[in-house]
């Protein structure tokens, strides 16, 4: 459980940092009014669906890897000969 909590916190922090960095980069490289079209910029709208989907897939990947690790550990225990 502790590993999942550390994973979730690090995922949320890294996700936020990368989203902010990519937003700053895209804003800095944006060329407005390209090809004679005016651009409409909307600030303040936040869509949480991509974050929720990413978080859900990350949690499921963590759970599946934990289950696989437990099955491997159980298989290794069974291979050890019993009673010298």
Residues 3-48: pLDDT tens digits? 788 888 888 888 888 888 888 888 887 766 666 666 666 677 777 8
- Is residue 84 a part of any domain in this protein? no
CA distance 84 to 82: 6
pLDDT at site 31? 66
- Is residue 46 a part of any domain in this protein? yes
- Is residue 75 a part of any domain in this protein? yes
Look at the chain and report how many structural domains it folds into: 1
- Is residue 24 a part of any domain in this protein? yes
- Is residue 16 a part of any domain in this protein? yes
Of the two residues 66 and 32, the one the predictor is more confident about is: 66
Q: Which domain holds residue 70?
A: 2-79
CA distance 66 to 77: 17
Stated pTM of the model: 0.53
């Amino acid at each position: 459980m502790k590993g999942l909590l550390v994973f979730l916190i690090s995922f949320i922090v890294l996700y936020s940092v990368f989203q902010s960095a990519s937003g700053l980069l895209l804003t800095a490289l944006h060329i407005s009014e390209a090809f004679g079209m005016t651009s409409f910029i909307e600030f303040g709208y936040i869509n949480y669906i991509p974050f929720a989907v990413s978080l859900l897939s990350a949690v499921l990947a963590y759970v599946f890897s934990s289950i696989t690790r437990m099955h491997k550990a159980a298989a290794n225990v069974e291979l050890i000969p019993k009673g010298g």
